[in-house]
């Protein structure tokens, strides 16, 4: 082994050892998914934590486990119930993939999750980094993660950029033992000390070998993604009220808010005419409500709601994909957060 290889090996062992020691003294404790080796519970946490803060995930995680304590109960549930429990957590494709993966695990594997990262990554919605985390935490498999927190730590500490290079680095740095502690340390260090906007370098266990700190490149590593101006999508919502009930429509199964219940949308023309012709409702009067805005990854939604007081319904008005619900019940249906906020405002008023 030449001098360069010896140096790289020392760096790998030094980095991993420092992170493991730091985690045992300063890492996060008491998160509800840390005290288990149940692959189902770890998988559920990893999917919920994708692009979502820990504080936001905890109450959803606990409610899911109360209703679906194992993968079989989740697989038996309707998608509507899964979406209802997920409502407000965002990125709803995760919930649809979660349900599909549970059904696949039950149908094809008898309810047992695979222990190999490659097989875990083949499940709907899992992906390479999440698969590695599940394999490490549930089965002690030696697999590299590269979530947002790990990417930031590695990019700054080693001055590395580029997806391929970071994955090679993540794999090369894996310790031979204590893989669960090391994996959690990467996540925790990035979430608590090596944050994007306010890194606490003075408390970092690997500050002495950090390239970004030494070269004054903390702000530029990892390279920020180029942000494009978000397009604004404008829609008109029809908030139809009839004897204390509100009309909701189910969204298409894929795409934005796929499978969720929202207000009917008016594409053009008169609200009264659309309600009569398409929804079978005779409207007494309409009133404009305050616009609602909501951000998505690639665009911003601006919805202009119109409150429509319905005088009468045509016979047989109930149609597939539409339902009238008491407003208080609609609040707890599988609706996205902006719709729920508007429903709550209706209840208050």
> Which residues are marked as active site?
46
**Rounded CA separation 85/287 (Å):** 31
Task: Please count the other Cβ atoms lying within 10 Å of the Cβ belonging to residue 233.
Answer: 14
| Helix, strand, coil in percent for the chain, rounding step 5 | 50, 15, 35
Task: Please count the other Cβ atoms lying within 10 Å of the Cβ belonging to residue 324.
Answer: 18
CB 33, CB 42: distance < 8 Å: yes
CB 292, CB 338: distance < 8 Å: yes
**Rounded CA separation 240/324 (Å):** 9
Q: Decide the pairing of beta strands 299-313 and 281-288.
A: antiparallel
Residue 29 φ then ψ, to 5°: -125, 155
**Rounded CA separation 43/49 (Å):** 10
**Cis, peptide link before residue 184, omega less than 30° from 0:** no
Residue 261 φ then ψ, to 5°: -100, 130
């Amino acid at each position: 082994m030449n001098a360069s290889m010896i140096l790289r090996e020392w760096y790998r062992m030094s980095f991993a050892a420092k992170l493991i020691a730091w985690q045992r003294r300063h890492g996060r404790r008491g998160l509800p998914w840390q005290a288990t080796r149940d692959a189902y519970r770890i998988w559920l946490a990893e999917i919920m934590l994708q692009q979502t803060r820990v504080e936001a995930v905890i109450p959803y995680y606990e409610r899911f486990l109360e209703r679906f304590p194992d993968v079989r109960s989740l697989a038996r549930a309707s998608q509507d119930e899964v979406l209802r429990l997920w409502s407000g957590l965002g990125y709803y494709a995760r919930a649809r993939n979660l349900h599909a993966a549970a059904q696949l695990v039950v149908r094809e594997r008898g309810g047992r999750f695979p222990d190999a990262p490659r097989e875990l990554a083949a499940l709907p919605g899992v992906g390479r980094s999440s698969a590695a985390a599940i394999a490490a935490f549930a089965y002690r498999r030696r697999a590299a993660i590269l979530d947002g927190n790990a990417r930031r730590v590695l990019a700054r500490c080693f001055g590395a950029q580029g997806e391929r290079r970071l994955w090679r680095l993540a794999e090369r740095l894996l310790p031979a033992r204590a893989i669960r502690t090391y994996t959690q340390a990467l996540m925790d260090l990035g979430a608590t000390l090596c944050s994007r906007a306010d890194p606490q370098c003075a408390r970092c266990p690997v500050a002495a070998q950090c390239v970004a700190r030494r070269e004054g490149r903390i702000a530029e590593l990892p390279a920020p993604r180029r942000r494009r101006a978000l397009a604004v999508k404008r829609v008109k919502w029809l908030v139809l009220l009839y004897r204390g009930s509100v009309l909701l429509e189910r969204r298409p199964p894929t795409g934005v808010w796929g499978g969720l219940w929202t207000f009917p949308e008016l594409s053009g023309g008169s609200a009264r005419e659309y309600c009569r012709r398409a929804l079978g409702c005779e409207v007494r009067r309409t009133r404009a409500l305050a616009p609602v805005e909501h951000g998505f990854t690639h665009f911003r939604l601006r919805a202009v709601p119109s409150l429509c007081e319905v005088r009468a319904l045509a016979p047989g008005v109930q149609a597939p994909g539409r339902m009238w619900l008491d407003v208080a019940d609609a609040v707890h249906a599988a609706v996205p957060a902006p719709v729920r906020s508007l429903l709550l405002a209706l209840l208050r008023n």
